[in-house]
Amino acid sequence: MNTDREKGADGLFPRILGPLEVALNRLAANRTLTISVAAFLVNFYLVSAAFFPNLSEINAWDEATYVNGGRLLLDGHWPRLSNSPLGTVFYALASFPYADTALWLVHSVSLGRVVLFALLWISAMAVAWQLSDLASPLIMTGLLFVTKIPVSILNFPSDPLFVAFAALGFSQLLAFYRTRSVNRLWLASVFVGLSAMARNDGLILGVALIAATLLLTLRERNFWKPLLVSAAPFVILIGGYVLFYGLRTGDFAMGTIERTYDNFEAGHQTIYGGAGEINPVLEAKLEARRVFGTAEENRYSVFRAILRNPSVYLQRLVRETSKLPRQLLNAYGIRIAAPVFLFAVRGLYDLLRQKKYRLTVLFLLWATPILSGIIITIFRDGHLQFPFYLVYSLAAIGLTAAVGNLGNRREQIFWIVALVGFMAYGVIDGKPAVTYGVFLLLGVFVIIRIGWGTMNLRPNAWVAAMLLFFAGGIILHGDYAGPKVRVLGQAADERGVLFMIEEFPEGTRVAAGSPGPIIAANMTYMGLASLDVPRFDDSKEFLSWMRGQDIKAIYVDHSLSSDNPFFWELISSEIGQELERGFVADEGDIQVLFLTE
């Protein structure tokens, strides 16, 4: 006779194993899904070195700050909406297991990168599955396998969080477009709300979702119902968080306007030609204030600032947009970007040829967050990578259409002209990687055409073409880093962090050029690269100010000695006098300096 405990176990295992068995059976039955999962696992293995960085491989600004925000959340410190509350919650969960670990920051980043990488794959594949009637999801699988974007985007944690939830929102919008199920709109609104809680760009997507819903339902009698469903979860999420934060702090502002204006000032680097004697970013902001007025004078309105001096803003805009073609190639991979964008253009043309005008507009609406870069005249690679799942989806549609129509003479002429044109661009602009990538693609087309026309491969032409393109993509990708055995605590910067942990009480104020190492040591970061730091005539005055700020030490690395030469000159002149070396490594590249009494 079974005991109650045995009965409980007998009932527990079927409850656990039952859904797992169903999932495994579904995986085995769906060949496309099986291949996609296998490709993800292989890709994860090949790029796994990126998931286990040492301290020097972590973004000492954004990445470290977001992880620290999660740690602060565990102590009850919630951020404004503009400061990525979703990222804060995410890293609170990622840092919790490592709260008492010496190099907790490194471990938290590792866990975060693994989850974000998987989330990017899942979200991009969700979009591909919704477009499976136009292109096989395996093409998206192949593109994700050969691209570096899901890894390169990880250094700015709010970027992959925003992109993943924006992609999930788009997949549900596509599902509504196909099925007219209002539940899909509800999910789309939830995902878009979460994207806005990761980055302010998600607020633009909220408007885009409402516009897309109007586009799809305006001719229907009760169009207001899906419109309400598309808006309500988004508004509740955003408004609810603002209310929650306001009740806790008394501050009901979103902070979006202020953050956007700060980025607008930083965007003046586009045309700023200062010597960078203090810090190039800070000097550009000071110059922007001279040219456009202060934030207070403009009441944090970017448009009011632009109207003060439109000619200078136009210079910024022209300079930044003129760099876009090269930036796009870099952001999407110098070798593979040109073929991908050619296929994406071909895909857009195929949607228009099939008169899928509303679907085309949905793609364009979902790409609107990238326009924010035009307003502030800053385009990081990460900004340009935001719509990568849209570009890859269009490329998959274009590739399918091109291969299916390769026997058509017009199709052949188009690709020959386009590919030769890009090859010429690569030669003229001194980008052999572009020429190499396009030349390889041209060779693939020639092989497919020969096989199609003379070797009677037509029945399997699509499969053969996909294998050839996949092989070409792997070649263009270049070397995969593969796994690595990470050793912590031996690198100079990590030893410097461990030294600070041993030497100072937690929370000690330490001045530095970037926050990463200070956060890793659980110290309080006192940033010298800030407009709040006064300018000093001599080193004695500077050290006196630091003592008044209760700063006990200075952490020296390249972010201080190279990026802030003004302060480094003041500091270095006092080493051995009022500053004492406590730790030195890498021939002085890494130092911890004590302020003597």
In this predicted model, what pLDDT tens digit does every residue of 93-109 receive, in sequence order?
999 999 999 999 999 99
Q: What span, in angstroms and rounded, lies between the C-alpha atoms of 333 and 331? A: 6
What are the tokens at 29?
A: 């039955």
What are the tokens at 584?
A: 């030195």
What pLDDT, on a 0 to 100 scale, did the predictor assign at position 17?
52
Q: What span, in angstroms and rounded, lies between the C-alpha atoms of 529 and 563? A: 9
What pLDDT, on a 0 to 100 scale, did the predictor assign at position 341?
93
Amino acid sitting at position 305: A
What pLDDT, on a 0 to 100 scale, did the predictor assign at position 220?
85
DSSP string, 316-361: HHHHHHHTHHHHHHHHT-TTTHHHHHHHHHHHHHHHHHTT-HHHHH
What pLDDT, on a 0 to 100 scale, did the predictor assign at position 451?
60
Instruction: List, in sequence order, every beta strand (DSSP E) within 293-349.
Output: none
CB contact set of 569 (below 8 Å; sequence gap of 6+):
none
DSSP H or E segment with residue 512: strand 509-512
Residue 526 bridge partners (DSSP): 511
Q: What span, in angstroms and rounded, lies between the C-alpha atoms of 274 and 234? A: 43
CB half-sphere exposure, 113, CA atoms < 13 A = 28
DSSP string, 521-589: TT-EEEESSSTTSPP-SSHHHHHHHHHHTT--EEEESHHHHTT-HHHHHHHHTTBTTTEEEEEEEGGGT
Please say whether the beta carbons of 141 and 41 come within 8 A: no
Q: Which residues of the chain have pLDDT under 70?
A: 1-29, 274-277, 449-466
What pLDDT, on a 0 to 100 scale, did the predictor assign at position 597?
76
What are the tokens at 181?
A: 């199920």
What pLDDT, on a 0 to 100 scale, did the predictor assign at position 112?
98
Please say whether the beta carbons of 205 and 166 come within 8 A: yes
Instruction: Indicate the pairing of strand 553-556 with strand 579-585.
Output: unpaired
Please say whether the beta carbons of 231 and 214 come within 8 A: no
Longest dimension (CA), the chain: 88
What pLDDT, on a 0 to 100 scale, did the predictor assign at position 335?
85
What pLDDT, on a 0 to 100 scale, did the predictor assign at position 281?
83
Q: How far is CA 23 from CA 16, 17, 118, 119, 166, in A?
A: 12, 10, 18, 18, 26
**Residue found under tokens 């009480």:** 505
Q: What is the pTM of this model?
A: 0.92
What pLDDT, on a 0 to 100 scale, did the predictor assign at position 464?
63
DSSP H or E segment with residue 251: none
**Sign of the CA dihedral with 440 first, then 467, 385, and 78 last:** negative
Q: What span, in angstroms and rounded, lies between the C-alpha atoms of 147 and 346? A: 19
The alpha-helical segments, DSSP class H, found in 180-223 are 182-198, 201-217
Please say whether the beta carbons of 108 and 220 come within 8 A: no
DSSP H or E segment with residue 8: helix 4-29
What pLDDT, on a 0 to 100 scale, did the predictor assign at position 459?
44
